[in-house]
Amino acid sequence: MADSANRFVVFVAISANLGIAIVKFMAAGLSGSSALLSEGIHSMVDTGNQLLLLFGIHRSQRPPDAEHPFGYGKELYFWSLLVALLLFSAGGAAAIFEGIDHLLHPEPLEDPFWAYVVLAVAAVLEAVSWSIALRELLAHRKPGMSSWHALRRSHDPSVYTTIFEDTAALLGLAVAFLGVFFSHVFGNAHIDGAASVVIGVILCIMALLLTRESKALLIGEAAYPEMVSDITAMALHEPGIVAVHRVLTMVMGPGEMLLNLDVQFRQSLSAAEVAVTVTKLENVICERYPHTRIFIEAKTMRADAGRLSTP
């Protein structure tokens, strides 16, 4: 995905979350709603998380150097993991604590009018941010791939983190609305406190999903099976290659892949012909999958052929 598109998704999320947080805190103060206060905390945490992602995008785009010859693409996954941990601790835990405190020391709600207004405005802004991130995700999915499959296959934290966070926000807004509504109708402040706890649980679940996704990419997730099968087919399509023994892949960043191929050449090929075949294969792979670092371990069936390694 293009860097400009990534940054646009993050900037939209930052703007929406910051504005929503301010009005949520104001409405919480006017209505005395614990659920709205938890939602305000949630939006502030989301704003901080998006700023961390923006910083991560910047850091991950540094060029390769002697200490990091494959570049800094994986640094973005470190910051996305930190975002997930903050969402769990500062967002989920704080909302649960606030809800429990409200359950132990309930306070009656004031006029809920402004709470409803803020919840409606927040829902619209969150939906806009969510739809922009989803549109960016779907624009790059493979034909026939479902939205959920595309989300699970995404290697771009700026998109999938925004979708996860905005989904949690929309669910939280629905719970907050129900909490305020039923607390007001039944005159029971405990319902509002319980809604705050539910919001915290939702945040914790989303944080755990994000943690699992970021961890898999940080420690070295392989390319999806369809890409491995496609590369294998491209290699076997070359007349000089008779077998593909291994296809090792690792995601290095959004749109960046490390590829190691172990192929076997025809016995009749000379060293020069092997080199030409390797170059042709690299060009074909890079045309289909740009930003892929390719290392081909080549051997012939002759015992004295040795191994050739091409960067």
- What averages of pLDDT result for each successive group of 10 residues across the chain (311 residues)? 66 83 82 78 83 87 87 88 81 84 80 82 87 81 74 80 86 90 87 90 88 87 89 92 92 89 89 89 92 81 42 39
Q: Please report the pLDDT score of residue 35 as a whole number.
A: 75
User: How far apart are the C-alpha atoms of 84 and 210, rounded to whole Å?
Assistant: 6
Task: State the CATH class of domain 225-310.
Answer: alpha beta
Q: Please report the pLDDT score of residue 301 as a whole number.
A: 47
* 306 SS3 class: coil
The answer to whether residues 147 and 69 touch, using CB atoms and an 8 Å cutoff, is no
- Buried (b) or exposed (e) across 128-148, using 16+ Cβ within 10 A? ebbebbbebbeebeeeebeee
Instruction: Supply 244's token pair.
Output: 């593909």
- Alpha helix ranges (H) inside the chain: 3-31, 34-60, 75-86, 94-104, 113-138, 147-153, 157-186, 189-219, 225-237, 271-288
C-alpha distances (whole Å) from 113 to each of 33, 119, 120 are 11, 10, 11
The answer to whether residues 138 and 101 touch, using CB atoms and an 8 Å cutoff, is no
pTM for the whole structure: 0.77
C-alpha distances (whole Å) from 281 to each of 162, 216, 294 are 37, 29, 10
Q: Please report the pLDDT score of residue 45 as a whole number.
A: 82
Query: pLDDT, tens digit, for every residue of 10-39?
Result: 888 888 888 888 888 888 887 777 777 877
Per-domain boundaries in the chain: 3-219, 225-310
Give the CATH fold of the 3-219 domain.
Alpha-lytic protease prodomain-like (1.20.1510)
Closest listed residue to residue 76, CA positions, set 165, 160, 156, 164: 156
Cα 57 to its chain centre, rounded Å, is 12
Q: Please report the pLDDT score of residue 3 as a whole number.
A: 59
Query: pLDDT, tens digit, for every residue of 209-263?
Result: 888 888 888 888 888 888 899 999 999 999 999 999 989 999 998 888 999 999 9
Closest listed residue to residue 106, CA positions, set 175, 192, 177, 186: 192
